[in-house]
Structure 1
Amino acid sequence: MKKIGFVTCVQLGLSCIEEIYRVGQKLDLLITLKDEKAITKSGRIYLDEFSNKNKIPLLKIENINENIVLETIKKYDLDWLFIIGWSQIAKKELLFTPKKGCIGMHPTLLPEGRGRASIPWAILKKLSKTGVTMFKLDEGIDTGDIIAQIEIPLNEQITATDLYKEVNNAHIKLISEYLKEIVEDKIVLKKQNNNLATEWLGRRPEDGEILKEMSVEEALLLIRATNKPYPGAFIKEGNKKIIIWKAIQSLNEEGIKLRDGYISILESEVV
């Protein structure tokens, strides 16, 4: 039986881990961030409970490329290492330490949308569809050979919360459908077409600010794209920051004034 490790610190990864056990496969090693690291990261989770319940060794680290990671992979003689929901780039030495290699997932239809903030950008760019790609990691950023993809249709009402759930379900489905092929060495790899590649930049919490010169459409789009588990769109009023989770266009001159009209807040919080 193949020996498998898993690296994650977010819900998408935990959902995959749970599916691995649901289909009857086991893990030989879990790796996650130290408890105090990235506590504000979108979707941040902890693996202690799952590790203890299933008696899986758990290594907590600051960086995926630390020597302790390489040593531990060798110690447990891993064939495959899943790295999912992890923002640090794995270097060549790590990628070649598991005997078969490393597998990742990216919430776009690669080669489109390499990079970061895939869920917010898919909404902000008004795409008609996005998806999740399972692929074998290489030294590039989301450039590895594709194992499988699942498409997710988008509409003009979808929020980041909705899309995160769809992406989570797609992760689970890919694990369910392709794990057996992975452990039996039956996967067929497909090269990405670099001529079609696009790269999306990272986003910061401050990028969610709603500015007065925005249109109503732009503001409502930003609110949908930065919804939970992301930091949210916001306005500033004096020393207060009002995070807006839900809003609609106002048909009269009430609410937040923007370039071409008003929006009314339906759900918010002050921080």
Structure 2
Amino acid sequence: MKKKIAFATCVQLGLSCIEEIYQIGGKLDLLITLQDEKAVEKSGRVYLDEFANKHEIELLKINNINDQTVLSALDDNEIDWLFIIGWSQIAKKEVLEKPRFGCIGMHPTLLPVGRGRAAIPWTILKNLSKTGVTMFKLDEGVDTGDIIAQAQIKLSENITSTELYEKVNDLHITLISNNWDNIVNNNITLTKQDEEEATYWRGRTPEEGEIFDSMTIVEADRLIRAVTHPYPGAFYRKKDKTIRIWKSDISKISGDIKLKDGYLILLEYEIEEKYHANKI
């Protein structure tokens, strides 16, 4: 019997998975996304209207994944599996139990390491040598569900969030492609996470991208790489101006911004004439 599958996303990582499902001959019965006016500043925000229209898929736009409209749509479409990928809201028990077999998520770390938020920036800020993407069955915890599959990424010393996001996106596609048949045939193997190895990373705000004179050049360089596109960017305040920095180099001898032990050389940046905390 054919499985009926729904997919909830509002970011590029999810859309890439959806496109891959159709590339390999799969089909979705329901798409779920946020209302157009919600999370417009969210990193990687995308809209599913064009894909839904092209492939004649029902598209449900919602305020929250736990809305009654979601529960009703899952019931009406007799959904067996629901993917929830790149979605900040936590699905409650009623949603998780509504699909016949459950819900599947992906997280851009090698779980149980790095549960929580801002996984890509934290990976760079923590100067990790490797990371990856985990496909797992969602439960009521935060990234605590049983693992379906994982894939690893080796990290270079100077990797940026832009580059890591692309690698993470590629692994989302790979994991979908490699595991789709097992999912639709209900042939997945679940592995429990090792709680002794679990770590949690908190969310970050745009204001945490500020560079201070007291920082070392290594600290500043790492922050710039961690919060560059698709994130809000690092910034340095200079009198009545804010310099938004997307790419830089470092020097012990000279540069554009003097720090504790050297200089930042600005390669890609924007100058904002006045600093407004609510604009970043």
- The answer to whether the 8 A contact 2:249-2:267 is kept is yes
Equivalent position SS for 1:217: helix
The equivalences for 1:181-196 within 5 A come to 181-196=182-197
The equivalences for 1:1-271 within 5 A come to 1-271=2-272
Residue 241 (structure 1) shift: 2.1
Range with greater deviation from structure 2 (228-237 or 35-44): 228-237
CA-based RMSD of the aligned residues comes to: 0.8
- Measure, in 2, the Cα distance between the counterparts of 1:148 and 1:18: 20
Range with greater deviation from structure 2 (257-266 or 96-105): 257-266
- Measure, in 1, the Cα distance between the counterparts of 2:55 and 2:239: 50
- Measure, in 1, the Cα distance between the counterparts of 2:240 and 2:56: 48
- The answer to whether the 8 A contact 2:252-2:261 is kept is no
- Measure, in 2, the Cα distance between the counterparts of 1:147 and 1:249: 42
Change (3 A) 1:254 1:23: closer
May I ask how many residue pairs the two structures share in their alignment? 271
Residue 170 (structure 1) shift: 0.2
- Measure, in 1, the Cα distance between the counterparts of 2:262 and 2:233: 21
Equivalent position SS for 1:44: coil
TM-score, normalised to structure 2, is 0.95
Residue 249 (structure 1) shift: 1.1
Match of 2:275 in 1: none
Residue 251 (structure 1) shift: 4.0
The letter of the residue matching 1:67 is Q
**Runs of 5+ consecutive residues of structure 1 not aligned to the other structure:** none
The letter of the residue matching 2:95 is L
TM-score, normalised to structure 1, is 0.98
Residue 238 (structure 1) shift: 3.3
The letter of the residue matching 1:155 is S
The letter of the residue matching 2:184 is V
- Measure, in 1, the Cα distance between the counterparts of 2:250 and 2:139: 45
Residue 270 (structure 1) shift: 2.5
- The answer to whether the 8 A contact 2:111-2:134 is kept is yes
- Measure, in 2, the Cα distance between the counterparts of 1:125 and 1:103: 27
Cα deviations by residue, 1:96-127 (Å, 9 ceiling, x for unpaired): 00001000000000000000000001111010
Cα deviations by residue, 1:72-118 (Å, 9 ceiling, x for unpaired): 11010000000000000000000000001000000000000000000
- Measure, in 1, the Cα distance between the counterparts of 2:48 and 2:13: 12
Equivalent position SS for 1:127: coil
